[in-house]
Structure 1
Amino acid sequence: MRFVGLALVASFAHAAETPAHKVLLPFLDQYCLKCHDTPTQKGDREFDSFKLPLTNVAGLITAKDIVDQLTLREMPPHKEKVQPSDEERLAVIRVLREGIVAARGKIESTAARTVMRRLSNREYENTLATLFGRRVDTLGLTAEFPKEKASEHIDTIGKSLVTSGFLVDQYFQSANRLVGARLGRPEMAPQAWHFTGNFVQYEELQGPHKAAFNFKYLCLYEQPNTDTRQGGYGHIEDFLKGVPVSGLYDIEVLAQAMHRDTHYDPAIFGIDFSEPFLLGVVPGDSTKNHIHYPQAIEPLLAQATVPDEKPEWIKCRVWLEAGQTPRFIFPNGPYESRAAVLAINKRYKGEFDAKFANGGVGRTHLLKDGKLPHIRIGEIKIAGPIAEPGGSVEEIAVFGEKGFQAKQALDQLYAFGERAYRRPLTRADRAVIRKSYETRIGEKATPRQAALDTLKMMLCSPSFLYFSEITNERETKLGPYDLAARLSYTLWGAPPDRELMTVAGAQKLSTSKELRNQSVRLLVDDRAGGFVNAFVDAWLNLRDLGSQPPARESTRLYYAENLPEAMKTEVRLFFRDLLRNNGSVQRFLDADYTFADKRLAKLYDLPEQKTLRIADGFQRVSIAGNRQRGGLLGMAGVLTVSANGVETSPVTRGVWVSENILGAKPPPPPDVVPAIEPDVSGATTIRERLAKHRSDPTCNECHRKIDPLGFSLETFDPIGRWRETYAKPKGKTAAPKVDSSGEFGSGKTYTGFHDFKGILVADRTDAFTRHLIKQFLSYATGRHMEAIDAFVIEDIFQAVKNDGYGLRTLILESLDSEIFRSR
């Protein structure tokens, strides 16, 4: 036995007399300390100081790590000649698990408590939309806020939600804008505007439009936000000042889809001509930026299909803020108008009169004599603001069904305060509200203006902006109102509704039965879509989808069909389906169905691409027998966000899978480790380059665990399309074939993506489930899970496993757990 082993046994001479150490210490000495003693510490793991019983968090982490590695047969590496028998493995696993259980309640947490946190920007806007009864994204209230820092992709972690002086100032400005625009707007009789010409469009469109039809038409040539921005946004030149007051407006547009049946090669435009053209309406502000360029505030207000045969009136009712003017977009239009004109000039100039062909075919010629696909608008009518019977939505939401009543002003403000602060008001709260109102009255403000100014004050109060717990400091469990707020913001991303507040007030929410009942009620409500979207964005980092967009020239489909939106929708619908039906979380690892619309059906080369129409939206589709899809790792959103937009890397995707699917964060590479690129001349594929990189033992320690998780995904390109070969290199060399086989540290091998998923389901379901529980609890509580939380997480896991790994069970067990209920 080696010297270190003798030293370890000697140091625990007394402890070794216990049955646990008689099993553990010889095992560590024979199979582990060669690589994980104090001098070596491979993979930052050191077992010299490890002992039982477990007395601290570090020991608990080490014990769980050894259990995980032995269970997966990752350690010792299968290439080691000396391997423990199954009996030896099981004996050590049993001893360590008993040690973990025995440590429960004996190891103190370092800080397992959520710091008081503010509303995230997402929650802030959701809360205001709930309190005021109408969407607020047209105001762009958070557009100027500092960029929010998520912690490990989660936007609800308290320690990362910093409140700067600048942000406080922005809160004041946002409250002032919101209250002024929605409750302080002047009464105004409806007006009507009718525009029949002077549809000036800027830059290189101006000359052709004047020559072809003297600005008689407003034309849309491409999807919004292209590189060249020529015809992606259509504005009304004579209405740049926008609407006079915030409100509802009826918009009518006389529009026609031109040349959807064009004979020009569809590849020039990169769109699906079998689908009707779509016309969208977004707000614009001529004082903020170029009116024909993308702007910070441009939510889609309305969308409609444009007729082909003749111009027809398209009608919609939209909300516009004072000063906003409607702009029109072509969501499924060509990817770049300028490039299309140049391509037609090269390929079809022979179709035009010789005098045009000699000088080149320009946009003017195409508009007069060609078949350039576009949307043409001839007239626009705007009417408003439209009166709302019974009062505005905001008036009723804030002040009640009868609207503002001067004689009941304080009572109305108190009632709003309870909804805004998400708890009963204290005597101090009422005093502050009363003082604000009475001060403004004393300054000769009207009762209504005094009330509006008080509302602004309340929307800047820490009681509104923060989850300021009212639970007694001596209590470790959340009181009913704090628990109601945590539950509501977890499952709706918004304040508690009346029923939840009533249950909290009756002191019923603290019971397991009522907490579960309310959790189920919130989950089946449509507002739970806010949870699904936000949690999936955080867990899988889909919020970053599009942060490294692929080149437009090589992946026009990505832009032309708005694939990022479709990719996110697939993941969200899949998650929601499992949640609704309590489907097994194993389906996240592999499934025989997914949700796809026509766009994704084409991307995935599914049979449904021939039968689905865009109007059909997303449908559940069977992929039984399809070896190219199934589970999260076969979804384009995951495959895109785990690539860099230009190329794929087994390392990048392997790290992503390790962190986001299996919950194992690889250590950062040491400073002495070279980058992958140097000294790899002659390698033709990423696998060959990595093989040379892994020849360094220091590199191999991590890459032998990371790379197998990424190699299987090499059959997908940067936007999730299936491929058999890499891009063809320059010259006559054939395109290298993709090799998606791999070998885990346990020695298990796979030949491709399908086999890889099978191993994940067989060997990693439990690890995946525990990680999903941790991520959900981190999202819900506003703090990352600690090692000490593992005991409760294990309780949740066992309940989930016993119930067939159901996703709803996972959520409900987590919501009823000690972790969720605690401060």
Structure 2
Amino acid sequence: MFYSPMRPLCHIFAICGWIATALSASATEPFEGFLEKHCIRCHGPQLEEGDIRFDRLSRDFKAGIDTHHWAEAIGKVNSGEMPPADEPQPTQDELAAFVLDLDTRLKEGRAARMAARPALAHYRLSRKEYQNTVYDLLGVRYDPAKPGELNEDTLWQGYERIGSQLSLSPSHVDRYYRAAEIVLDRAFLQAASEPRKVRKSAAELRYGGGRQQQEALDLFGIKRPLRYLLFPGRVQSALSSNWLGRTGPEHSGLYKLRLQASGIRPPGGQPAHLSIGKQTSEETVDGLIEFDITAPEDSPQVYEFEVFLELPTQLHFCVVATDVVDRRGGAAFRNALVSRGGYLFTHSSETRLLNPNAPQMFDEQGNGIFSTVLLDWVEWEGPLVTEAEKSRRQDVMPPEEATPEQVAAHLQRFAQRAWRREVKPEELKNYMQSYLVEREAGESMTDAYRIALQGVLTSRHFIYLVEGAPQPRPQLNDWELASRLSYFLWSSMPDEALFTAAESGQLNGERLGNEVDRMLSDARINRFIEDFSRQWLQLHRVGMFPPDKKLYPKYDDWLEASMRAEPVEYFRELLMNNQPIDGFVDSDWTMANARLCDFYGLPEPKRDGFQRVSLKPDHHRGGLLTMGAVLGLTSDGTRHRPVHRGVWLSEAMFNKTPPPPPANVDPIEPIPPKGNKITIRQRIEAHASNASCAACHRNIDPLGLAFDQFDAIGQWRTREHVPTGVGEDPLVDASGALPDGRPFTGAAEFKQLLLEDRDRIARAFIEHLCTYALRRVLTVDDQDAVQAIVEDAKSSQYGVRDIVRAVALSELLRTR
């Protein structure tokens, strides 16, 4: 399916375009006659199903105002969806004549539509792409999503890189100038900080050195070392800036965190989860680093992370667990353990030194009553600058004694990398003039040259991907292709090898396949995995409506973060192993961490982090559609929403966006206090009996109702919880039939029916990839090129990696 981001305006613009043509068309003309006989009844003045009126669609196929609607009509006629089964049916000859006529009109107008495209196209970098680009250009870590930095990107159906949506306002310009200053400050510090390392033992963190506590241990004959017991319900210091000596902004940078820890897990409870970040309340932090700790206390594990810190800062530990401390005394519990003399802790079997006045933390067998973390030591090292980061800054800054000619040469080399194309010296005339003016005013070479660098980084040639030339051409040149490939597969600028291929003029030819294979094997492909899957599946919506804690007490922030990561890790596994797209729909495995395994009822994982976990039929999982993230993002925090689930599935799996509901449609009525409890399905069926709603609901509802045995956070259930009304909670009915009549009894059978449509799902996935890669909405004029990719991918059994490669090598990706 192909869309226009301006769809709501199409009918307004169409009114002007269709009048002259439509009025002059004879009703006896076969094309118009078919529309009058089989289409206008449902899509005309009396009824406007799907927000479409064929009498108002433009017949000017060269202008292309409504070509996407006409292309949609061909698809629906070919699939048998139009006319509906309960309407008079045309003969096969009538159908064939109409489809041929309409297809001819579309193709005849293609040349005119392609010629009408602008000679130049500008696509602004998204915030994530800007972040990656300044890192690959200068080795600088910069977070544009922080409050006060770059403006949030406008989304179109989850995508944050559609050119027509990414405008540039005055506030954007101001923020880009400030961002360039920050980037250059970090790239060229006046005095680079030497990395420092500090280690704090549990005795230092908890007991102020622990000398007196060690004497107590010796008195009792306890040989175990002191440990820091981190318990739920309180944040505790993880980093104070003074640990690293006097610090300021010049010490900001990449730091390595290492810590040795183990966990106490209550029988049948969750593993301990540690969150490290800035304190946000008495009991929470912002979660800069989060991970489960499954190592037992007798075999502690060393955990290592890299994190960018802007100093000075304070960081804290916070143990997250659903074993809520409030139930065991809340503040009194915390206060009994906070004071330095409140307890000594070495091991759960050594409880003699615990505060006897504090609430119980362990049972008689030494089992934890709730999840806790045992910390042995923590170590910070930084700021760290890798050799790769240093190499990116080499030769950017000219020597202090450089002549203007040498400065201009340095600037030209930098601009070519930053602007991702060949740059002529005259294009940099104004930047060099700024440099010379600053020098004449007495500024140092470094400070004056930074003004020129800032100009390069705030130019439209850096902020935008610019494709085309004043003289129109249909194909990308090698430099443009290099950028299109790199921002598709790496979400960033081309590397040196791609630049070299573009400069040699060979990228559009024999080197393209080799370069794409190299890019797919590079570590930077992980950016594509994370960015594309997040945008394609609309994972930004996970947690948009926080679940009601009373209805869903098992739901917490760590579960939400784990849910959001599951489809990304799953997509990574499919791509890296080139598994077929069938895995999008169903599988006998998933990617899960300890928190998800606990939530799904899966076997405990063997190690920390996400790993591949086998599934059985009674787990009711497999594929994307039964993941907690997908089932949760289509809910409202209190109940599941089958219609929204159907819309999401239609968009993600079939690349079809159903039309919005009519403005005057009544909402689904709640159940009155004395009414009988009925399912949401039954209430939707009553709602969809409205004639203006039925046409869309018959295509959407089955897609969502198939997953009715999953509640608002993705838990399996057999009865639907109905908070109002009288009677027993009703049994869930997840049966139904696809629009073409194929029946199913639940999610498992429904997924098998989807697998029968793998060609359709493959094409939709390819369309999503092309939208992401081209940074624009596909049109009817892209259909043949997309079909060529489909045929290429089909020959390799629709392996996910093969599909991505086919898109990267396609003619569509090389066309403006």
Offset at residue 654 of structure 1 (A):
1.4
Offset at residue 126 of structure 1 (A):
0.7
Offset at residue 187 of structure 1 (A):
4.6
Whether the aligned pair in 2 keeps the contact of 1:192 and 1:384 (CA below 8 Å) is yes
Quote the residue 2:568 is aligned against.
572
Quote the residue 2:481 is aligned against.
483
**1:133–1:761 CA distance, 2 compared to 1 (3 A):** same
User: Which runs of 5 or more structure 2 residues have no equivalent in the other structure?
Assistant: 1-21, 208-225, 337-353
Matches within 5 A, 1:72-111: 72-79=79-86, 83=89, 104-105=110-111, 111=117
Offset at residue 102 of structure 1 (A):
5.8
Quote the residue 1:122 is aligned against.
128
Whether the aligned pair in 1 keeps the contact of 2:631 and 2:713 (CA below 8 Å) is yes
Counterpart selection for 2:761 from 764, 768, 775: 768
Deviation by residue 1:373-400 (Cα, 9 ceiling, x = unmatched): 53466876666657x7xx9654432125
Whether the aligned pair in 1 keeps the contact of 2:671 and 2:677 (CA below 8 Å) is no
Deviation by residue 1:445-480 (Cα, 9 ceiling, x = unmatched): 443444445433432232222223474533232221
Give SS of 2:524's match: helix
Query: Match for 1:158: what amino acid?
Result: G
Counterpart selection for 1:631 from 623, 627, 630: 623
**1:383–1:121 CA distance, 2 compared to 1 (3 A):** closer
Distance in 2 between the 1:95 and 1:698 partners?
30
Identity %: 26
Matches within 5 A, 1:462-473: 462-469=460-467, 471-473=469-471
Offset at residue 122 of structure 1 (A):
0.5
Give SS of 2:466's match: coil
Distance in 2 between the 1:257 and 1:343 partners?
24
Whether the aligned pair in 2 keeps the contact of 1:190 and 1:384 (CA below 8 Å) is yes
Distance in 1 between the 2:380 and 2:623 partners?
47
**1:597–1:292 CA distance, 2 compared to 1 (3 A):** closer
Query: Match for 1:572: what amino acid?
Result: V
Quote the residue 1:323 is aligned against.
311
Quote the residue 1:357 is aligned against.
none
Give SS of 1:595's match: strand
**1:646–1:516 CA distance, 2 compared to 1 (3 A):** farther
Query: Does 2:525 correspond to 1:537?
Result: no
Offset at residue 649 of structure 1 (A):
1.4
Whether the aligned pair in 2 keeps the contact of 1:399 and 1:413 (CA below 8 Å) is no
Offset at residue 56 of structure 1 (A):
6.0
Matches within 5 A, 1:730-749: 733-749=727-743
Query: Does 2:231 correspond to 1:221?
Result: yes
Whether the aligned pair in 2 keeps the contact of 1:219 and 1:234 (CA below 8 Å) is no
Matches within 5 A, 1:590-629: 590-606=586-602, 609-610=603-604, 612-615=605-608, 617-619=610-612, 621=614, 628-629=620-621
Query: Match for 2:460: what amino acid?
Result: P
Give SS of 1:74's match: coil
TM-score norm. by structure 1 comes to: 0.78
Whether the aligned pair in 2 keeps the contact of 1:488 and 1:495 (CA below 8 Å) is yes
Return 774-783 or 684-693, whichever deviates more: 774-783
Whether the aligned pair in 1 keeps the contact of 2:678 and 2:730 (CA below 8 Å) is yes
Counterpart selection for 1:526 from 523, 527, 538: 523
**1:699–1:52 CA distance, 2 compared to 1 (3 A):** closer
Query: Does 2:168 correspond to 1:163?
Result: yes
Whether the aligned pair in 2 keeps the contact of 1:676 and 1:690 (CA below 8 Å) is yes
Give SS of 1:324's match: coil
Deviation by residue 1:162-185 (Cα, 9 ceiling, x = unmatched): 222222222222222232234215
Give SS of 1:713's match: coil
Return 778-787 or 322-331, whichever deviates more: 322-331
Quote the residue 2:297 is aligned against.
308
Distance in 2 between the 1:403 and 1:573 partners?
44
Quote the residue 2:348 is aligned against.
none
Distance in 2 between the 1:101 and 1:251 partners?
60
**1:395–1:739 CA distance, 2 compared to 1 (3 A):** same
Quote the residue 1:687 is aligned against.
681
Distance in 1 between the 2:92 and 2:734 partners?
30
Matches within 5 A, 1:357-756: 365-366=358-359, 373-375=371-373, 394-400=389-395, 407=402, 411-469=409-467, 471-511=469-509, 513-559=510-556, 562-580=558-576, 582-606=578-602, 609-610=603-604, 612-615=605-608, 617-619=610-612, 621=614, 628-677=620-669, 682=676, 684-727=678-721, 729=723, 733-756=727-750
Matches within 5 A, 1:20-35: 25=33, 31-35=38-42
Quote the residue 2:342 is aligned against.
none
Aligned residues: 748
Quote the residue 1:204 is aligned against.
none
Quote the residue 1:225 is aligned against.
none
Whether the aligned pair in 1 keeps the contact of 2:273 and 2:291 (CA below 8 Å) is no
Offset at residue 343 of structure 1 (A):
8.2
Whether the aligned pair in 2 keeps the contact of 1:109 and 1:788 (CA below 8 Å) is no
**1:308–1:452 CA distance, 2 compared to 1 (3 A):** farther
Matches within 5 A, 1:274-289: 277=272, 281-282=276-277, 284=278
Distance in 2 between the 1:795 and 1:249 partners?
48
Deviation by residue 1:223-247 (Cα, 9 ceiling, x = unmatched): xxxxxx7327655496699734235
Matches within 5 A, 1:254-273: 257=262, 260=264, 271-272=270-271
Query: Match for 1:173: what amino acid?
Result: R
Return 150-159 or 58-67, whichever deviates more: 58-67
Query: Does 2:21 correspond to 1:42?
Result: no
Whether the aligned pair in 2 keeps the contact of 1:279 and 1:306 (CA below 8 Å) is no
Distance in 2 between the 1:291 and 1:736 partners?
42
Deviation by residue 1:290-309 (Cα, 9 ceiling, x = unmatched): 798645xx743999887725
Offset at residue 690 of structure 1 (A):
1.2
Distance in 1 between the 2:359 and 2:107 partners?
77
Give SS of 1:661's match: helix
Quote the residue 2:339 is aligned against.
none
Distance in 2 between the 1:303 and 1:334 partners?
10
Give SS of 2:315's match: strand
Query: Match for 2:685: what amino acid?
Result: A
Distance in 1 between the 2:607 and 2:551 partners?
23
Offset at residue 638 of structure 1 (A):
1.8
Offset at residue 643 of structure 1 (A):
1.9
Whether the aligned pair in 2 keeps the contact of 1:399 and 1:416 (CA below 8 Å) is no
Counterpart selection for 1:231 from 228, 235, 250: 235
**1:233–1:193 CA distance, 2 compared to 1 (3 A):** closer
Whether the aligned pair in 2 keeps the contact of 1:233 and 1:293 (CA below 8 Å) is no
Deviation by residue 1:184-242 (Cα, 9 ceiling, x = unmatched): 152556667677889799xxxxxxxxxxxxxx9976433xxxxxx73276554966997
Query: Match for 1:690: what amino acid?
Result: I
Query: Match for 1:398: what amino acid?
Result: R
**1:106–1:799 CA distance, 2 compared to 1 (3 A):** farther
Query: Match for 1:127: what amino acid?
Result: T
Return 746-755 or 148-157, whichever deviates more: 746-755
Whether the aligned pair in 2 keeps the contact of 1:232 and 1:330 (CA below 8 Å) is yes
Counterpart selection for 1:65 from 55, 72, 79: 72
Whether the aligned pair in 2 keeps the contact of 1:104 and 1:791 (CA below 8 Å) is no
Offset at residue 506 of structure 1 (A):
0.9
Whether the aligned pair in 2 keeps the contact of 1:583 and 1:807 (CA below 8 Å) is yes
**1:247–1:584 CA distance, 2 compared to 1 (3 A):** closer
Query: Match for 2:651: what amino acid?
Result: E
**1:593–1:90 CA distance, 2 compared to 1 (3 A):** farther
User: Which runs of 5 or more structure 1 residues have no equivalent in the other structure?
Assistant: 1-7, 202-215, 223-228, 350-360
Give SS of 2:414's match: helix
Deviation by residue 1:411-437 (Cα, 9 ceiling, x = unmatched): 444333322221222213443443344
Query: Match for 1:327: what amino acid?
Result: L
Distance in 1 between the 2:29 and 2:174 partners?
61
Distance in 1 between the 2:590 and 2:615 partners?
7
Counterpart selection for 1:339 from 314, 326, 329: 326
**1:121–1:364 CA distance, 2 compared to 1 (3 A):** farther
